[in-house]
Amino acid sequence: MSLDIKVEFSGGLELLFSNQRQHSVTIPSIDPTTSEPTRLQYLINYLRDNLLKERLELFVENDTVRPGILVLVNDTDWELEGEGDYVLKDGDEIVFISTLHGYAGSTIIPGRSIAQ
Amino acid sequence: MAPRACALCENAKAMLKRPKTGQQICRECFFYVFETEVHNTITQSKLFQPGDRVAIGASGGKDSTVLAHVMKTLNERYNYGLELFLLSIDEGITGYRDDSLETVKRNQQQYDMPLKILSYDELYGWTMDAIVSQVGRKNNCTFCGVFRRQALDRGAAMLNVDHIVTGHNADDIAETVLMNIMRGDIARLGRCTAICTQGEDTIKRSKPFKYAYEKEIVMYAYFKKLDYFSTECIYSPDAYRGHARAFLKDLEAARPSAIIDIIHSGEAFEVREEVKATQRVQQTCKRCGYISSNELCKACTLLEGLERGMANAGISDRGRKQLELQGPAPENLRTIPLFKLPSGNPTVAIETTP
Ligand SMILES: [Zn+2]
Ligand SMILES: [Zn+2]
């Protein structure tokens, strides 16, 4: 059994994920590490380990998303859904919006090399 | 977790936890309370008079896009009687400002407001791209900050507006309070929490989002599907500010009221008049007529340094002395057009949508 989850990054975060805002991921419905239904925390770890291209510290901190990144579960503030403990359902849409700075100036902006 | 009902209407599904109050509210109630709080900020601080001409400093980013939307909504809902304009500064940064200006142009149509774009190139004869290619990435933010401040005033004067509003939010102000404390800049600390600033010879500026949390601004833009641009300036990295912001976000995660608490702390400092007065007496720049604390304003000094190939002249006292050793400015030096405060009619044609 697996879950198809739609993931969206914005606010600059997409630059860490191949400069692509929308991703579809398929993850197991039972978390192999806990043998329990898969929670949002598993997805965050999965994104970090599989989709994140660089600068880990701009996405996660202390095993959760970095403060200043808003997370929405099917358009609802994840703070109302139990944050990382939210149990994922097939077809869920998870949106990560950064309100932080510091994404620019790294080397990952395609086609925007600036002569020094 | 079972969906919870909104704490305000007790009917619709709660979709957001307000950082300021911890209240869990639905989308429609959120729009209403967010807009009403901004309205209260505006009325309590008596920011506007009926008939005022107000320019919204528009960068295409989330804060100014939400500000334009909310200003338009409130102006209509409460009959403020304001004439609203969008004012954008084009710093001339390829791949950043050219893209974000496209967003502002769409905002112009979406909000049906006149738009004026003023570029560094037309005002100073230098784009930021050209400045960076001469000065490198070390001091370019100094140039950009000084040039932008003056460009906004000049754009406002061209539009003949009484007032500029900017999208600075509560997080920005709390961050500035922290930075002023960390730098020991007590004079600025005394001023940075003011919602409205007006020197005698400058155009009034204010921050209607002074008490609006960034989280709520982002959620507002998201729920309303507002069109904004989120790429950052490619030249920006202000590492110190970045650390202050990250620190603030850590505090907010531990206790959401931290942001408003820091603003209140900033407001509660009583800065003695003689400390505040470290700002020198203001005069008029002898070269361009802009308000200045020296004979030459900062922008004219920076521009002269650029033009004479001694970019440090406007950055450090040593650079300034080196420039002076080279003799007076040549007659044919490029200068900034004479600044006049708004009076009478707009001095420029406002760009209309093609
Ligand atoms: Zn409600
Ligand atoms: Zn000047």
Which of B156, B175, B168 lies closest to B38, judged by CA?
Answer: B168
The CATH 3.40.50.620 domain(s) of chain B lie at 46-279
CA gap B193, B178 in Å, rounded: 11
Dump pLDDT digits (tens) for B116-130.
999 999 999 999 999
Q: Looking at the complex, does the CB of residue A116 fall below 8 Å from at least one CB of chain B?
A: yes
A82 lies within 8 A of chain B by CB: yes
Strands of the sheet containing A93-98, edge to edge, are A22-28, A2-10, A93-98, A69-73, A76-77
Measured between beta carbons, which residues in chain A are less than 8 angstroms from residue B2? none
B19: closest chain A residue by CA: A79
Q: Report the share of chain B in percent with pLDDT over 90.
A: 52
How many Å lie between the alpha carbon of B282 and the closest alpha carbon of chain A?
34
- How many C-beta atoms surround the C-beta of residue B74 within 10 A? 20
Contact (Cβ atoms closer than 8 angstroms) between residue B55 and residue B164: yes
Quick one: pLDDT band at residue B240, thresholds 50, 70, 90? confident
Cβ of A82 and B1 within 8 Å? Answer: yes
Strand order, beta sheet including B163-165 = B115-119, B83-90, B53-57, B163-165, B204-206, B196-197
Phi, psi of A86 (to 5 degrees): -60, 130
Residue B159 has pLDDT above 80, yes or no: yes
The beta-carbon neighbor of A68 closest among B17, B129, B249 is: B249
Q: How many helices, marked H, and strands, marked E, lie in chain A? A: 1, 9
Instruction: Output the CA angle B230-B231-B233, nearest 5 degrees.
Output: 125
Please determine, for residue B342, whether its predicted confidence score (pLDDT) is greater than 80.
no
pLDDT at B312: 77
Asked if A12 lies within 8 A of B214 by C-beta distance, the reply is no
Using a CB-CB cut-off of 8 Å, the residues of chain B touching A70 are 215, 218-219
Residue A6 one-letter amino acid: K
- pLDDT-derived band at B219, boundaries 50, 70, 90: very high
Q: Which of A67, A104, A112 sits opposite B249 (nearest CB)?
A: A67
Chain A to chain B Cβ contacts (< 8 Å): 91
What is the nearest CA distance from B311 to chain A, expressed in angstroms?
A: 16
With CA atoms as reference, the chain B residue closest to A86 would be B1
CATH of residue A80: 3.10.20.30
Least confidently predicted of B85-89, B113-117, B174-178, B199-203:
B199-203
CB of B87 within 8 A of CB of B53? no
Please tell me the predicted confidence (pLDDT) of residue B331: 77
Each of the 116 residues of chain A gets a pLDDT tens digit; together they read 899 999 999 988 888 899 899 999 999 999 998 999 999 999 999 999 999 987 888 899 888 999 889 999 999 999 999 999 999 999 999 999 988 765 543 333 333 322 22
Residue A115's pLDDT is 29
Closest CA to B162 of B202, B111, B116, B122: B202
Interface ipTM: 0.87
Cβ of A72 under 8 Å from any chain B Cβ?
yes
* CATH superfamily membership of B46-279: HUPs (3.40.50.620)
What is the bridge-based pairing of β-strands B115-119 and B163-165? unpaired
By DSSP bridging, strand B16-17 and strand B24-25 are: antiparallel
- Residue ranges making up the domain that contains A47: 2-115
Q: What is the pLDDT of residue A24?
A: 97
Q: What is the pLDDT of residue B284?
A: 87
pLDDT the model gives residue A88: 97
Taking the alpha carbons of B168, B172, B176, B179 in that order, is the dihedral positive or negative? Answer: negative
Distance from CA of A18 to the nearest CA of B (A): 14
Task: Identify the CA nearest to A44 among candidates A103, A101, A94, A99.
Answer: A94
- The answer to whether A80 contacts B17, with C-beta atoms less than 8 Å apart, is yes
The secondary structure element, H or E, covering residue B321 is helix B317-325
- Which positions ≥6 away from B194 have C-beta within 8 Å? none
Task: Give the pLDDT score at B216.
Answer: 96
Query: Could A10 and B230 be called an inter-chain contact, meaning their C-beta atoms sit closer than 8 Å?
Result: yes
B155 is in an annotated binding site: no
C-alpha A77/C-alpha A95 separation (Å) is 10
Residues belonging to chain B with any Cβ–Cβ distance to chain A shorter than 8 Å: 1, 4, 13-17, 24, 62, 94-96, 129, 132-133, 136-137, 171, 214-215, 218-219, 222-223, 230-237, 241-242, 245-246, 249-250, 252-253
Q: What per-residue confidence (pLDDT) applies to B45?
A: 94
Q: How far apart, in whole angstroms, are the C-alpha atoms of residue A38 and residue B219?
A: 26
How many structural domains are present in chain A? 1
Disruptive mutation site among B25, B65, B232 for chain A (greatest number of A CBs within 10 Å): B232
- Average pLDDT estimate for B33-47: 97
Measured between beta carbons, which residues in chain B are less than 8 angstroms from residue A109? Answer: 95, 231, 234
Q: Say which residues have a Cβ less than 8 Å from residue A14's Cβ, sequence separation at least 6.
A: A20, A21
CA distance B107 to B229: 11
Taking 50 as the threshold, does the pLDDT of residue B221 lie above it?
Answer: yes
A12 and B242 Cβ atoms separated by less than 8 Å = no
d(CA B211, CA B293): 31
Average pLDDT score over chain B? 87
The pLDDT of residue B29: 97
Is B172 part of any known ligand binding site?
yes
A77 with B232: Cβ contact below 8 A: no
Asked if residue B276 has pLDDT above 80, the reply is: no
